[in-house]
Structure 1
Amino acid sequence: MAEETLYSRLRRVIKEPHAAIHRINLSRLPLCLPPNASQPTLYALGLSRYAELYFGVEAEWVACTGEPIEWIAYFDVHQVHAIDDTERVRALLRLLYMPEIPRTKPLEADIAFLSAMNTVRLEQFHAQNPGSRIREQIRQRVRGHPHRLVAYIWIMYSALLYGGDRILGLLKAYPAFWDLSRAELESDRTPTPLSFWHIDDSVTVKEKFRDAMANLDQFLTPKEQEDILDESLLIFLQFNTLTSRLDDEAQQFRDQASAPSS
């Protein structure tokens, strides 16, 4: 019987917590949209919180690999020799990188667009973003242990690659809600404020991403693999904390919106 790979073990370990948080977050999404909401404030609120996790992961990813423009055209995994641990881990993180995946720029554009909409009121939430605290936790846990990024990369980008189309289809049902025309939403490239969910040639990217994950074992020690599995479970605890705080913030917003004006 073939030995189980890190990829298969990771999928098995996160199956239940992933299903649980996916179910919780999907149940919240309709509350942010018509007819339950008349403005995208709650959606913008949630996006701004989860955006911090992507900002944190991508900052650490680039810190470990170097700026992609400097190496991506020359990188060949077959020419990499594990001279030392730093080079070995840098190689595996470069192996996982694809130009279509990073979400920092789309998220910044989406949040800026939403924040500028007349119907969105995020000012009262800007000073206290619980996602920022998790972003700092990611930085602390990854510095000195960059292999742990594998857990974050797999969980956060596979969620987008394998579930993003379904969510984008739901969001596109309300063009006026986003201050967009139907033609804008049906263009080949999804515009802001929903560009976070759009990945060019997502089918090909999904296959390449899965193949890269399936070939990581050669770069990782058994101890590092166990560390990645442990980190994956911690990530879902972070997600649960963030969603719980979002519930509190959303209720706060609803209470403020329904309070009689003085």
Structure 2
Amino acid sequence: MDSSPDSNGRPALPVELHAATREKHHALNTSIMARLPLCLPPSTNTPLLYAKGMTVYGQIYFAFEQFLESSLASANQDPRLRDIYQKIYFPSLIRTTRLRHDLDALKSTLDEHLAQEVDQLVKDSQAFFSGVTASLSEKPHVLLSYVWAMYLALFNGGRWIHRQLASAGAEFWGNKTLPLSFWGFEKNDDCGMDGENLKVQFKTAFMEASSLLTDAERDEVIEETKKLFDMCSKMVLYLDNTKSTEPLAQSSDTEPVLSGLSTSTLSMATLWGYVASSFAALRPGYKSAWERRVAMVD
């Protein structure tokens, strides 16, 4: 992927994103590195925490993927934005259907009252979905923030996390077919083994899409990505301390605030922070702590 400056002498957007979020990325990584095992045996004997966490943090995928697909389907879409969206839209990357299928499978293995807890959490986390949608409606070009952070997190951390989750075994997950399709990619010529071909295609397409932004829009994409990291850090800190079960609240500036999730969601909340913090540093030759850790287990 070309990371050379653009025609205005400005660094490529991925390079700017890395520089702007490096400290936040490091801080978040440090705070959650030890928490991944909490949603797996021997810390727990049920996938309830995983189901709750993916219910809540899946809202970000549900929100921006719905926004992307709805925008592409709209006859009134601005031509330049449509061009941007078409470049970053990869059907093989869409996670919504996979995650909903996983969650349905997970709930089917849980006791009735535990499944009801997951269902209640769907309602409680709607403000998170609404907050992301509001941000995108106000500044539709910042969709690049969500696409970049969330899909590269999936590419760079997903394979390792998938292995950790799968290691719990079929008995833990309650089904021989593990409800972990969210983390996978089809092994075909388009995706390659573990999505490597798709990752390269996505990075190239993202560069092409970002070249269509104005300088002001690029600045807003960078700021939105920083907010996304801050949001994940706030989730970790809040969920470490909360014992409330009140519904999710939303602040006046439309940023979702996790103000009502029980401590039972903590384990997967911190796992999601792990995922969201793991998109690769794009400076040539740079390897983050996450990448070095993944390299050691590959």
Residue number in structure 2 paired with 1:27: 34
> CA separation in 2, counterparts of 1:49 and 1:163?
19
Residue number in structure 2 paired with 1:134: 128
Which amino acid in the other structure matches residue 203 of structure 1?
Answer: E
- Are 1:199 and 2:185 matched, yes or no? yes
Which of 201, 208, 223 in structure 2 is aligned with 1:208? 201
Answer whether contact 1:51 1:131 (CA < 8 A) is retained: no
- What is the TM-score with the length of structure 2 in the denominator? 0.70
The alignment yields a C-alpha RMSD, in angstroms, of 2.6
Which of 44, 48, 52 in structure 2 is aligned with 1:41? 48
Q: CA-to-partner distance for each residue in 1:138-187, whole Å, 9 max, x for gaps?
A: 11111142101000110011100111000001111122211234xxxxxx
Residue number in structure 2 paired with 1:259: none
1:192: Cα distance to partner? 4.6
1:66: Cα distance to partner? 1.8
Which of 51, 55, 66 in structure 1 is aligned with 2:58? 51
Q: Is the alpha carbon distance of 1:221 and 1:160 closer, same or farther for their aligned partners in structure 2, counting shifts above 3 Å?
A: same
Answer whether contact 2:55 2:103 (CA < 8 A) is retained: yes
Q: CA-to-partner distance for each residue in 1:64-113, whole Å, 9 max, x for gaps?
A: 2228xx9xxxxxxxxxxxxx991111111110111110110011011111
Residue number in structure 2 paired with 1:167: 161
Mean Cα displacement is larger for which, 222-231 or 121-130?
121-130
Answer whether contact 1:64 1:146 (CA < 8 A) is retained: no
1:215 partner SS: helix
1:214: Cα distance to partner? 2.0
Which of 98, 104, 112 in structure 2 is aligned with 1:106? 98
Among the aligned pairs, what percent are the same residue?
A: 27
Which amino acid in the other structure matches residue 197 of structure 1?
Answer: W
- Are 1:178 and 2:164 matched, yes or no? no
Answer whether contact 2:52 2:265 (CA < 8 A) is retained: no
1:216: Cα distance to partner? 2.8
1:8: Cα distance to partner? 1.1
- What is the TM-score with the length of structure 1 in the denominator? 0.79
Q: CA-to-partner distance for each residue in 1:174-228, whole Å, 9 max, x for gaps?
A: 22211234xxxxxxxxx55100100223000110111112223431111100110
Answer whether contact 1:41 1:119 (CA < 8 A) is retained: no
> CA separation in 2, counterparts of 1:225 and 1:218?
9
> CA separation in 2, counterparts of 1:126 and 1:92?
35
Residue number in structure 2 paired with 1:240: 233
> CA separation in 2, counterparts of 1:107 and 1:252?
20
Q: Is the alpha carbon distance of 1:199 and 1:16 closer, same or farther for their aligned partners in structure 2, counting shifts above 3 Å?
A: farther
Answer whether contact 1:34 1:174 (CA < 8 A) is retained: yes
> CA separation in 2, counterparts of 1:159 and 1:230?
18
Residue number in structure 2 paired with 1:75: none
> CA separation in 2, counterparts of 1:180 and 1:228?
41
> CA separation in 2, counterparts of 1:25 and 1:113?
27
Which amino acid in the other structure matches residue 177 of structure 1?
Answer: F
Answer whether contact 1:42 1:250 (CA < 8 A) is retained: no
Unaligned runs of 5+ in 2: 243-260, 267-298
Matches within 5 A, 1:86-125: 86-118=78-110, 121-125=114-118
Greater Cα radius of gyration, structure 1 or 2: 1
Residue number in structure 1 paired with 2:245: none
Q: How many residues align?
A: 230
Which of 246, 263, 269 in structure 2 is aligned with 1:251? 263
1:125: Cα distance to partner? 4.9
